[in-house]
Amino acid sequence: MVLKSMVSRRAPLLSTLGISFVVLVLIYNANKDNILSASPCATQNRQHTRNTAQLISQNPFLNSTVPSEKPASASIPVSTSSRKTYAHIIQETPPNAGPEQGFALEYLDQEVQKAVETKKAAIRLLSSPIINQHNMMYLVGREQKCTNMTPEVIITVPSGWGNFEKRQKVRDGPQGKYVRAHSQNALLLFFVGLPPAGIGKNKTQKWAKLQEESEKYADVVIAYFEDKYRNILFKHLSMLQWVINFCPKAKFVLRTDDDVGVKIDSMLVSLRRHSDERQNFILGKQRVGDAPSRREERPHYYLSEEEYEPDTFPPYVLGGAIGYPVSTVKLLYEVARRTKNVWLDDVFMTGICAAALGIPTFNERSFQFTH
């Protein structure tokens, strides 16, 4: 009414134009949000978001959620153009905002692109010819262990064939106690190979003792390969293959060495928590930036350039304690059949094979172990 009265008094032309300009500004500001939300660009953005969510949900190699901690977002600022394009989504971050506020859509775009590329590479790899059969045979298989149960967790322990005292210590330790307390929900198995040639006169006696132990406790699996340190990869594969063949409906696998102290309850809590967020992952004591040993005078870890050419390993977790879902076990086994072997089993399985599929490894405090 005030504006109408002012105009009716035949105000000068300049004043009338000024008033009209003010009216237009007020109308624009009042409807700015509606204009932006109805723009074609915003519609495309919503469609892009739906497509992104669908890609992530269908990809078994990815996390099912956007990471809450955005390590790269701090180094990728949201550009001015992005703030205009996504004005109805992105709010201006207050000067003193914490790291959880704000959301860099450019970071999400990079992750989606990386996810699509990883999935394509994984499909190509899993469709490639098998170069390592890795068809492990068992002298003593314990195939019936999962006949009348579907355990949540299978605790697999690689052990030297003559490590009688160490295996008994595991049975009396956290692993054995957990299995006895959850007898219908957990399983403990030791995996050993055959006695190597030329190990002394008492080989026959030790072999008989191993067979007696296996019959007494019914928890020792004996595989057909020579039980020596540089065959540790075969032992790892024999554990994965056993789970796939004889207990595929189990949920988790925990691999612990026979000479380490671990906290099984805490490890299971971590496995359950991660499984709520993603389908495939590996937990353990993570190593990043390790280099292969090229010193022949240290044969315990020696790895020639012919065996492994790069100067560094991909991130991996130490073999003393490893946790993974059975879905990850199946994927790792199939990749191992299609990838050149590296005898260091933790590097090969949780580093090289996992990286080939984009399966993430996590450093979990609950998986710290002591010797």
Number of domains in the chain: 1
106 in any annotated domain: no
2 within some domain: no
**pLDDT tens digits, one per residue of 70-82:** 333 333 333 333 3
Over the stretch 39-65, which tens digit does the pLDDT of each residue have? 344 444 445 445 444 544 444 444 433
Taking a C-beta distance cutoff of 8 angstroms, is the pair 162, 263 a contact? no
Residue 136: count of CB within 10 angstroms of its CB? 20
C-alpha span between 238 and 138 (Å, rounded):
9
Write b or e for each residue in 200-237: b if 16 or more Cβ atoms lie within 10 A of its Cβ, otherwise e. Answer: eeeeeeebeebeebbeeeebbbbbebebbeebbbbbbb
- Residue range 175-194: mean pLDDT, rounded: 97
331 in a structural domain: yes
Residue 69 domain flag: no
- Would you place residue 2 in the very low, low, confident or very high pLDDT band (cuts 50, 70, 90)? very low
* Separation of alpha carbons 175 and 155, rounded Å: 7
Could you report the per-residue pLDDT of 288-323, keeping only the tens digit for each?
999 999 988 777 889 999 999 999 999 999 999 999
Q: CA neighbours within 13 Å on the CB side: how many for 294? A: 8
More confident residue, 93 or 211: 211
CB count within 10 Å of CB 94 equals 9
Mean pLDDT of 264-281: 97
Q: What is the pLDDT of residue 358?
A: 93
Beta bridge partners of 77: none
Query: In this structure, what CATH number is given to the domain that contains residue 273?
Result: 3.90.550.10
Three-class DSSP category at 96: coil
Neighbours of 48 (CB within 10 A): 14
User: What would the pLDDT profile of 77-135 be if each residue is shown by its tens digit?
Assistant: 333 333 333 333 333 443 444 444 455 556 667 778 888 888 899 999 999 999 998 99
Indicate if the alpha-carbon torsion angle 95, 97, 99, 104 is positive or negative: negative
Using alpha carbons, select from 211, 288, 278 the residue that is nearest to residue 60: 278
Say whether pLDDT at 147 is over 60.
Answer: yes
Contact present, 209 and 164 (Cβ < 8 Å)? yes
DSSP conformation letters of 6-20: HHHTT--HHHHHHHH
Q: What is the pLDDT of residue 143?
A: 95
Angle of helix 105-126 relative to helix 40-58, nearest 10 degrees, comes to 40
Cα-to-chain-centroid distance, residue 137: 28
What would the mean pLDDT of 167-176 be, rounded to a whole number?
97
Q: pLDDT band at residue 11, thresholds of 50, 70 and 90?
A: very low
Q: Give the mean pLDDT of 326-332.
A: 97
pLDDT score at 295 = 86
| pLDDT above 60 (res 236) | yes
Query: Which of 47-56, 132-141, 275-284 has the least mean pLDDT?
Result: 47-56
Domain limits at 224?
138-367
pTM: 0.71
CB distance 206 to 222 below 8 Å: no
- Does residue 155 contact residue 191 with C-beta atoms inside 8 Å? no
- Domain annotation covers residue 142: yes
